[in-house]
Amino acid sequence: MACSLLARLLILHLLPPSISPPHRVTTVSSERRQTAKGGILSSIAYPAEWSYYSELKPLFNTLEDKRPSKYGDLDLPYIIAVDAVNIMSPQNVSNTLINQRYFKKHPKVSAVLMANELIPRAIPRNTPDLWHNPFAIYPLDHDALPLSQWVWDRQISQWSFIEGKTGAEIFHIDWKWPDEQPTTSN
């Protein structure tokens, strides 16, 4: 529940005011988001080595669970926010989005906002990355959000990384927050 709220706050804080609030964030019910059966990502952390069935399949299932067709006909960029319980490598995210053809099968998905263990105390350091869909019907402008972004380069068939701001920079908090609070002198 806290991760969903944090993701919504992050997106609401970053989106330009020209996008009205009802179109900014659509959340998935907590029952569907927290389900661990069938490979849906959940809030339970498992210390294990990653494989197709423990990392890629759950990500694919989570993306399928949030596909835009469940929310009607949208004529705006559609971003799916995913909070992975354990760290997912960019190679595994890429494998799901490009090699498993998720983006090609879902051109109404503009991008995937991929977070790794987004919890309150990690906001300054664990900033989500935005993965742009090269096949999007409604592409998201690369300048719309100041986050780090992955953009598919069709000419060389690989992802290009664009460095963005950290959570500390976006929310104007110390990088070490909440462990070390700045001291003020009178």
Closest CA to 86 of 126, 113, 132: 126
Structure tokens at 70: 């469940």
Cis peptide, bond prior to residue 178, ω within 30 of zero: yes
**DSSP H or E run through 152:** strand 148-153
What confidence tier does 72 reach under pLDDT thresholds 50, 70, 90?
confident
Least reliable range by pLDDT among 75-79, 96-100, 171-175, 178-182: 178-182
Q: With 70 as the cut, is the pLDDT of residue 138 above it?
A: yes
- Average pLDDT of the chain, as a whole number: 75
pLDDT digits (tens, 9 = 90+) for 105-124: 999 999 999 988 788 888 88
- Quote the pLDDT of residue 95: 84
Residue 90 has pLDDT above 80, yes or no: yes
pLDDT for residue 8: 52
Separation of alpha carbons 83 and 7, rounded Å: 8
- DSSP symbols for 82-135: EEESS---HHHHHIIIIIT-HHHH-TT--EEEEEES--GGGTTT---EEEE-TT
Residue 42 has pLDDT above 50, yes or no: no
pLDDT digits (tens, 9 = 90+) for 53-66: 566 778 888 888 88
Judged against a pLDDT cut of 80, whether residue 167 lies above it is answered with yes
Question: What pTM did the predictor assign?
Answer: 0.69
